[in-house]
């Protein structure tokens, strides 16, 4: 099986996340990439599935609080689980569950 660069950490083995807690300043943390388990690489077919999944998620910088639509279980043809989508807008997933 051919391995390729991880599409989540881009081979860095870690991802940087922002932690926001109410009443505290935002902090940055480096965490081991859970997609590649810190190796920086994944099997090529797995990478393709990850990229397809990531493309379903909203990447808009818009303030989404007033621009989301809720779908209950079974209401959306592509995703059975209840979730929120950026609508009107890009129409992609904002939150699942």
pLDDT score recorded for residue 31: 95
pLDDT score recorded for residue 11: 95
Is there a single domain that holds both residue 46 and residue 68? no
Mean pLDDT by 10 residues, the chain (97 residues): 92 91 89 95 90 87 76 92 89 88
Q: Where are the alpha helices (DSSP H) in the chain?
A: 44-54
Domain that holds residue 93: 58-97
For residue 86, the tally of other CB atoms under 10 A from its CB is 19
57-84 pLDDT tens trace: 988 876 766 788 999 999 999 889 999 9
Q: What pTM was estimated for this model as a whole?
A: 0.61
Q: Which residues contact 65 (CB under 8 A, 6 or more apart)?
A: none
Spatial separation of the C-alpha atoms in residues 89 and 17, rounded to whole Å: 25
Spatial separation of the C-alpha atoms in residues 30 and 18, rounded to whole Å: 9
Is there a single domain that holds both residue 16 and residue 43? yes
Is there a single domain that holds both residue 4 and residue 27? yes
pLDDT score recorded for residue 21: 84
pLDDT score recorded for residue 73: 96
Number of domains in the chain: 2
């Amino acid at each position: 099986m051919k391995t390729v660069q991880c599409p989540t950490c881009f081979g860095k083995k870690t991802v940087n996340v922002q932690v926001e807690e109410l009443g505290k300043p935002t902090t940055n943390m480096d965490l081991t990439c859970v997609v590649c388990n810190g190796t920086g690489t994944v099997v090529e077919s797995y990478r393709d599935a990850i990229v397809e999944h990531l493309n379903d998620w909203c990447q808009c910088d818009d303030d989404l609080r007033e621009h989301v639509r809720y779908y209950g279980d079974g209401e959306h043809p592509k995703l059975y689980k209840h979730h929120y989508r950026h609508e009107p807008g890009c129409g992609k997933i904002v939150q699942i569950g």
